[in-house]
Amino acid sequence: MPAIKDLSQLFKDIDDFAEEHFSEEKIQQWCNWGGMPPEVIRAFYQSNLGSYISAENLNKKDSFIYCAALIAHLTRKAGTTLPLLSEVLSFVLLSSLQQYTSPKVFNELVCKDKRIDFCEAFSEPGAGTSAFAIRTEVSSENGQIYLDGEKSFVTSGEFMSRALVLAHDTIYGQYDGGISLWLVDLNQAGVTKCSINTIGQEMTNPSAIIFNHVLLDPDYRIKTQGDLDSVLKRQFNLGRLLVCASSLGLALAAMDDAVHYASKKQSSGKYLYALPQIQEKFADMLSKIKAMQALILNAANLAHKNDSEFVLATSLMKYYVPRAASDVASQALQIFGGVGYTNQIRVSRIWKDCRGNQIAQGTDEVMVHSISKQLIRSYDSVLQTL
Amino acid sequence: MPAIKDLSQLFKDIDDFAEEHFSEEKIQQWCNWGGMPPEVIRAFYQSNLGSYISAENLNKKDSFIYCAALIAHLTRKAGTTLPLLSEVLSFVLLSSLQQYTSPKVFNELVCKDKRIDFCEAFSEPGAGTSAFAIRTEVSSENGQIYLDGEKSFVTSGEFMSRALVLAHDTIYGQYDGGISLWLVDLNQAGVTKCSINTIGQEMTNPSAIIFNHVLLDPDYRIKTQGDLDSVLKRQFNLGRLLVCASSLGLALAAMDDAVHYASKKQSSGKYLYALPQIQEKFADMLSKIKAMQALILNAANLAHKNDSEFVLATSLMKYYVPRAASDVASQALQIFGGVGYTNQIRVSRIWKDCRGNQIAQGTDEVMVHSISKQLIRSYDSVLQTL
Amino acid sequence: MPAIKDLSQLFKDIDDFAEEHFSEEKIQQWCNWGGMPPEVIRAFYQSNLGSYISAENLNKKDSFIYCAALIAHLTRKAGTTLPLLSEVLSFVLLSSLQQYTSPKVFNELVCKDKRIDFCEAFSEPGAGTSAFAIRTEVSSENGQIYLDGEKSFVTSGEFMSRALVLAHDTIYGQYDGGISLWLVDLNQAGVTKCSINTIGQEMTNPSAIIFNHVLLDPDYRIKTQGDLDSVLKRQFNLGRLLVCASSLGLALAAMDDAVHYASKKQSSGKYLYALPQIQEKFADMLSKIKAMQALILNAANLAHKNDSEFVLATSLMKYYVPRAASDVASQALQIFGGVGYTNQIRVSRIWKDCRGNQIAQGTDEVMVHSISKQLIRSYDSVLQTL
Amino acid sequence: MPAIKDLSQLFKDIDDFAEEHFSEEKIQQWCNWGGMPPEVIRAFYQSNLGSYISAENLNKKDSFIYCAALIAHLTRKAGTTLPLLSEVLSFVLLSSLQQYTSPKVFNELVCKDKRIDFCEAFSEPGAGTSAFAIRTEVSSENGQIYLDGEKSFVTSGEFMSRALVLAHDTIYGQYDGGISLWLVDLNQAGVTKCSINTIGQEMTNPSAIIFNHVLLDPDYRIKTQGDLDSVLKRQFNLGRLLVCASSLGLALAAMDDAVHYASKKQSSGKYLYALPQIQEKFADMLSKIKAMQALILNAANLAHKNDSEFVLATSLMKYYVPRAASDVASQALQIFGGVGYTNQIRVSRIWKDCRGNQIAQGTDEVMVHSISKQLIRSYDSVLQTL
């Protein structure tokens, strides 16, 4: 567990950043736009906060504790899912892929101002996060290489000019079990983007991208040499960590608002917080938040290892945290009564945001199998008494 | 319990009506507009369905079984909360109020084409559905009578030219515990309407209405003569019945879609419905739906009596049904995976709609006290073995 | 649904019977003995109650509504699981088997005083209620027929002199998918009985019975002629109905005691029933009991048909009811505080009894598959709106 | 958080102790007897384990982490609630009381062989753990001091010759809000003990003790000088910590057995652990255990402070842990099927034991109020993001 002092400094930096750049009015605007303004993202990278996701810091043993805390606290301040989550994940992917990538290609993955310049086109309609079910296909025709297929839930797909695309590939995929990873220019012929209207998480603005016989340049294949599966698995597990950190931030924001409301608002001459039924909710919400924190810290502490213990920790966390966050948000909404069901408070937005994380990066259902497999395999090491 | 045959005819009529007037595309349009087109509402009244809510039918012993079945099945077909729910409730209120209302006033409550022409302005910000906490005030000044205050969650407030307003009233309210009911013209000076943006139930389009020293005409007071409390209580309890019928319809629509999807869609070569984790969801959803149906039928069967047994039945129903419906919808959404979180399917809309009914017409929390009070009072009659 | 009047008479008869024969002191004695005294069972058959399970009544359309109501109300009065449940089930089995059974054998299944004189030895350790997993084996050796194997959870096994034994049988089982049913004398060589110590349901006193090369008489085989599977399935489904009726009776007994206690007992100057946290429990308990009643009535109403709709109804009931009953009992226990955890009240016994029914006659887990299969198969007929 | 290495040594010592002194056969015997044999308790004190609860160690900053770990792991090995829990608590009380106690009285609180020689007679029928509701009364008559009243749930009351009795006291209690604490010889006239038959936790063997005009010696009053309330509160909070540690140990024992069974036992040719419904249970059980561990560690880490943060931590822990443990045990029992409901496995005993801890040391319901009060009071310090 990191020293409390360290995270305190991080939280203070985030408080300062949020104080300067966030307000509920701006957040609502950004949700309507479907993204954060570039100047705010730039300010993020130029502040102290940017350093936490620099390449050198991402290699440190405890870097993911900081990443998780960063996402959790920033999300708590914003009261909505932030696209910075995928920025951080893309930096993580970048650092994993660097060794397999030529300098030319690598340079195209980042902007001049050091920001990420690609989106991750991994998911497909009906395939979820499983690499095995991918149907986007690499094929050759008259000596040329083509890409066909459809990707969905590509975060920030609309804003990026390039995508890392995961494809079924019988030509180059032999070392990676029949799949391969390509950097694809999204401005070329045959690429169609369309926005996906989700019912929450509006700033993440996911797209579907259709590839209709898009010409590929073999130089832009990431030469993963048999490591692709392991790179993807790590990426998914770290994605789960940050999604859960975001869920925690959402739950805390809902709790903040509900406690604040219950300590100001009266009903029949009594403060809400003094009513036993409200107290029941607070006890339940608080115990869920504490459990969420413990499971996230547990996973973050193992993140530098990437072994089966880390997989169990992230699966267990992903199984529990997003559902618990939805529940916390729903109880907070209920405390507000009728107003809770309107746009006048941010808890209603938080409640909708939370729901998405029960699906993102692997549903609760997918986690169950993973947990049980690891549990049986290494029961003794896993279940220490305290 | 009504003969199955009777409800079958009702369901058939609804199927025909929905076949002709509903389509998912239209429903989405109406949600965007915030209401059903007048010609569809007119068609409803002119069809067989209209007769179920006619004055003579609403006085029959089993009329509320038909009303509940009507709302439930129509909502199931539409896959969203329909403003017809409040139309039906307004007819119910109208039939309760007729005896206290002068013909002149009564005529203004209905349109020429026999449709309702008023909205119910009962709720207030922070007062929920409790008549005791009302702060909208009737006062006299220089021999004139004025109304001041704010009402919220007035369904269809924007479309109606008149409102029935519940007010704190020290002048005329003496027989009714200090409250009174007025028909107020919403087009006069001092009335401001503003739309409330809820996160679901978009066709109901609730408004806030502010009354700023609005002149009242004493002829337009409903002369309830001490019966107002009892009229309101009955109205709230019938409101609970129809809200729960609507929740049931929403849950059934979600179930319909999820079962249909699970019987078509495969994952790793298996139909979804064959996966034990999906089956767990279906078992849970189905048992919740059966319980919802039983509690609604139970309340509807007692609705003609308006005694404490009916109050217990509606409280128990309102405590259980909307929460169970939310849960069914959430499980249905989860079965769709990523698509479930988008506007591409109607289950996501249903999920948002369901949430509102956990608050509308009295929160779960309010019901608990009512249940326990009735339970202790008349335990033996209430808890028959089967 | 049967006329209320009819069940009222049944309930009145049960009240009279319980008044005369039950007292908490006697019930505790019978639990310690592991059975009801023969004279009480005899009195049951000689009272009005006995007629409800007579052969002619069991063939009527609504007989299982009466059986379920009988078990539920009698159990509610006793506050524990009664061995009469298996008596009733045995009568049901008897009426199913009569057509396949020679008069000689049939006469040995009933005592002179018309009571049942056999136990059902169907379950096996590790095979649950599934007939396919049976390992008790019929074999032939030197022209003789032998039985070898072990049966478990044989209710009243210790008191009966004969058992109906289900066995894997390659000799006579060809028409019944390799299984057959035998009436076996338990007093002959090779039969060993031993008591199973369950943690509740003490009056049912289940035994394990070991058959070590027990000689069989082919005359005592029930000649089911290919109908055995269907007879067994019906028996299991009716078993589920009565087990659920018993669960309902237990839950009602717990509710009775908790409501009575909460209306007498004060804490810090307030009656327990006036405390919001107790009221929450009552609301939850009551909604569960109403759901239990609806699911049991639903299944009982279909019991004369034995079609797939009945199977769905019993599976759904068995999935929901025993778990809900455990929950009701646990909440009742909690209302009693420290005393709830002692033998001074019957709720603690009820709580232990309830747990067993989550396993008896097929676990919750087994039901899930059955529900989903029927649901997909006949969705439209199953899910009427109201 | 203590270094893992330290707890590893503790766990190893416990493993050795359990290896030598525990076996399922012995545990069952001790449950039947209602206590551990004196020689085993003596062996405990003479082993390394005894030192963890010595006076000097109990004053160290992290002593309660060791105590909690000790109780949790020892309980996990035994698979039942151990009376050592109250021994440890009595040592804790002893170290709190030493400063208020004359050497003469202090010497009578411990045996010659340094074991505890008193029981804690605090609870009363109907008063739970609240000191304010106590009705046992100190009175004076003819210059003599007498004690009258009834205490319940006195652990090991039968084995001890002295009790520390909490009483309402208008004579000596003025500095302590009207209550006082006395060491009472249980062998004198007017004392009656009777055993309370609980439905689990059999080794703790609680008694009711009735004091009928028992003569008190003022020298044997503990002279708490206004600190009694604070001493009792600390004692209750530490009691909650150890009860929760015991619940954790029980849950782990159930998990151990269920995982072991599921990895050996097959159903229809598949290992149980490979069945999705079993996997669901494991995922849920594991997430609950992790949450339990986090909440216990959290409270144990604050135990040396005794401030409002510690009270919040113990309340939250007590609210969550025992209920979660019951749930884990119930799921484990279900995995065993029919055998789970019998005495053939220890999970059935664990399930019954767990239930008691939902009531012991303050019900879930009592915790809710405490949590909410502390939460509102010091929200910011309490709810750090990670």
Average the pLDDT over D229-249 and give the result: 95
Largest CA distance in chain A: 81
Name the average pLDDT for chain D: 92
Residues of A in contact with B133 (CB under 8 A): 268
Dump pLDDT digits (tens) for A173-203: 999 999 999 999 999 999 999 999 999 999 9
| pLDDT at residue number C131 | 67
pLDDT(A2) > 50:
no
Please name the chains neighbouring D, where neighbouring means 3+ C-beta pairs under 8 angstroms. A, B, C
Average the pLDDT over D341-355 and give the result: 97
Average the pLDDT over B36-61 and give the result: 87
Which of the two residues, D97 and B365, has the higher pLDDT score?
D97
What chain B residue is nearest to D274 in terms of C-alpha separation? B276
Average the pLDDT over C355-377 and give the result: 88
- Interchain proximity A248–D385, CB inside 8 Å: yes
For residue A129, the distance in angstroms to the closest alpha carbon of chain B comes to 10
pLDDT bucket at A305, cuts 50 / 70 / 90:
confident
Average the pLDDT over A340-367 and give the result: 92
Is A262 at the interface with chain D, CB within 8 A? Answer: yes
pLDDT(D365) > 80:
no
Indicate the pairing of strand B119-121 with strand A270-271.
unpaired
| pLDDT at residue number D305 | 83
pLDDT bucket at A316, cuts 50 / 70 / 90:
very high
Report the run of H or E that residue D238 belongs to, with start and end: helix D228-262
| pLDDT at residue number D89 | 93
Which of the two residues, A379 and B247, has the higher pLDDT score?
B247
Of the ranges A308-312, A314-318, B143-147, which one carries the lowest mean pLDDT score?
A: A308-312
pLDDT(A251) > 50:
yes
- Interchain proximity A277–C280, CB inside 8 Å: yes
pLDDT(A3) > 50:
no
Is B134 at the interface with chain C, CB within 8 A? Answer: no
For residue C277, the distance in angstroms to the closest alpha carbon of chain A comes to 7
Question: Where are the alpha helices (H) located in chain B, listed in sequence order?
Answer: 4-21, 24-33, 38-46, 48-51, 55-58, 63-78, 84-97, 103-109, 228-262, 276-302, 308-335, 347-357, 364-377, 379-382
pLDDT bucket at C129, cuts 50 / 70 / 90:
low
Separation CA A190–CA D92 (nearest Å)? 75
Q: Taking Cα atoms as reference points, which of D259, D257, D268, D360 lies closest to residue D318?
A: D360
Is A343 at the interface with chain B, CB within 8 A? Answer: yes
| pLDDT at residue number C52 | 86
For residue B183, the distance in angstroms to the closest alpha carbon of chain A comes to 24
| Distance, C-alpha D362 to centroid of its chain | 11
Q: What percent of chain C has pLDDT over 90?
A: 75
Please name the chains neighbouring A, where neighbouring means 3+ C-beta pairs under 8 angstroms. B, C, D
Burial pattern B358-376, b for ≥16 Cβ within 10 A else e, equals bbbbbbbbbbbbbbbbbbb
For residue B277, the distance in angstroms to the closest alpha carbon of chain C comes to 9
Please name the chains neighbouring B, where neighbouring means 3+ C-beta pairs under 8 angstroms. A, C, D
pLDDT bucket at A128, cuts 50 / 70 / 90:
low
| pLDDT at residue number A378 | 83
Q: Which residues pair with A120 in a beta bridge?
A: A164
- Interchain proximity D364–C126, CB inside 8 Å: no
Residues of C in contact with B68 (CB under 8 A): 386
For residue C196, the distance in angstroms to the closest alpha carbon of chain D comes to 7
Question: Where are the alpha helices (H) located in chain A, listed in sequence order?
Answer: 4-21, 24-33, 38-46, 48-51, 55-58, 63-78, 84-97, 103-109, 228-262, 276-302, 308-335, 347-357, 364-377, 379-382
Sign of CA dihedral C79, C81, C87, C93: positive
Q: Taking Cα atoms as reference points, which of A19, A36, A40 lies closest to residue A27?
A: A36
- Interchain proximity B125–A338, CB inside 8 Å: yes
pLDDT bucket at A1, cuts 50 / 70 / 90:
very low
Q: Taking Cα atoms as reference points, which of A31, A67, A27 lies closest to residue A50?
A: A67
Q: Which two tokens stand for residue B37?
A: 């087109």
pLDDT(D4) > 60:
no
Dump pLDDT digits (tens) for A47-83: 999 888 887 778 788 899 999 999 999 999 999 999 9
Average the pLDDT over B370-375 and give the result: 89
What chain B residue is nearest to A348 in terms of C-alpha separation? B199
If one counts every other C-beta atom within 10 angstroms of the C-beta of residue A281, the result is: 23
Separation CA C264–CA D84 (nearest Å)? 37
Of B76, B282, B379, the CB nearest to C375: B282
Chains B & C: contacts with CB separation below 8 Å: 140
Q: Which residues pair with A124 in a beta bridge?
A: A128
DSSP letters for A65-77:
HHHHHHHHHHHHH
pLDDT(C262) > 60:
yes
Name the average pLDDT for chain B: 92
| pLDDT at residue number A275 | 92
pLDDT(A298) > 90:
yes
| pLDDT at residue number B130 | 65
For residue B112, with 0-12 CB atoms within 10 Å meaning exposed, 13-18 middle and 19 or more buried, which class applies?
exposed
Dump pLDDT digits (tens) for C306-317: 788 999 999 999
Q: Which residues pair with A128 in a beta bridge?
A: A124
Burial pattern C86-123, b for ≥16 Cβ within 10 A else e, equals bbbbbbbbbbbbeebbeeebeebbeeeeebbbbbbbbb
| pLDDT at residue number A337 | 92
Which of the two residues, C52 and C179, has the higher pLDDT score?
C179
Q: Determine the residue type at C184.
A: V
Chains A & C: contacts with CB separation below 8 Å: 8
Dump pLDDT digits (tens) for B100-137: 999 999 988 988 777 888 999 999 986 655 666 789 99
Which of the two residues, B247 and C365, has the higher pLDDT score?
B247
pLDDT(D132) > 70:
no
pLDDT bucket at B159, cuts 50 / 70 / 90:
confident
ipTM for this prediction: 0.94
Of A259, A286, A383, the CB nearest to D252: A383
Dump pLDDT digits (tens) for D56-69: 778 788 899 999 99
